[in-house]
Amino acid sequence: MTFVDGPVRVTVPATSANLGPGFDALGLALELRDDLEAEVTPGGLAIEVSGFGEDEVPLDERHLVVRAMRATFDRLAVTPPGLRLTCKNVIPHARGLGSSSAAIVAGVWLARELVAGGRLLLDDTALLDLAAQIEGHPDNVAPALLGGFVIAGQDPDGSFYAVPGSVDPRISTVVFVPTTPVSTEAARGLLPAEVPHGDAAANAGRAALLVAALDSRPEQLLRATEDRLHQQYRRPAMPESLALVEALREDGLPAVVSGAGPTVLAFADGVGTTTTAGLLRRCPDGWEAHALAISSVGAAPVVEPR
């Protein structure tokens, strides 16, 4: 088995998972994309990072993209003599916008493309399964790989699945990004082992409604994004985020904690009820607000030179 000549390059979108009631199941790809390039070299490991994570992430085998690449090479039973990796990161780290999933998806995608005939040996279904194994759950890696709105989960045999859903073209998002990060591990550590049956039942109904609301009923987004399963339990780690979610929702604006937080995502429905401009004006002092389209494209190759 041989490697391709020259570098390969990919862009991977940010993602927002959980989406209120869709804990560990629903995810959206957002039009904010990291840009990565990798090449097989005669030897050694060289990593260059700009943007988010610059001067913070390890520049050795501990780098998450490299770890994902190594796992993919192992799956393909190949070992490159050396690697060069360049990362241009625009997805904020530890903010609930899928930066780790983007890194994992980029790594598995780049490694597959660096192997001649890699797509014949590892299709997108296998690539998703590998990425989800590395991440631990599929609701962020699935939209990062496939784009759009994805319903994802894990079967009893341990395999992962991802089913694309449709999104009404009127729907877009605004994300409110605080300056203080929250790790996914810390946020998950606040979740209880059990929840009341009534809360689980309510969330199941709201999650089903959210699929319909995103498909063609944006006027149902406020009701459909109600959550009883995870957001309130995370309040100690991100009180300002939960306060913003509540303030927006009290005004009839569909808002949720993005992923594990602390970013807040609000839906603009395009029907006059919730406008992008109105949402942007609700950004708290010191935070950043970004109007982001839902990206129909997941991990995608880039062929032109940098």
Structure tokens at 179: 């300056």
Q: Are 31 and 13 in contact (CB under 8 A)?
A: yes
Q: Are 1 and 267 in contact (CB under 8 A)?
A: no
Closest by Cα among 89, 80, 88 to 61: 80
Q: What does the alpha-carbon distance between residue 17 and residue 13 come to, in Å, rounded to a whole number?
A: 13
Q: Which parts are annotated binding residues?
A: 92-102
Give 21's Cβ-side CA count (13 Å radius). 23
Element (H, E) at 209: helix 197-216
Structure tokens at 50: 């700009």
Q: Which parts are annotated binding residues for ATP?
A: 92-102
Structure tokens at 92: 């904020």
Residue 131, class by beta-carbon neighbours within 10 Å (0-12 exposed, 13-18 middle, 19+ buried)? Answer: buried
What is the separation, in whole angstroms, between the first and last Cα of the chain? 28
Angle, CA of 228, 159 and 121, to the nearest 5°: 135
Residue 116's CB: how many other CB atoms inside 10 A? 13
* Cα dihedral across residues 39, 40, 42, 43: positive or negative: positive
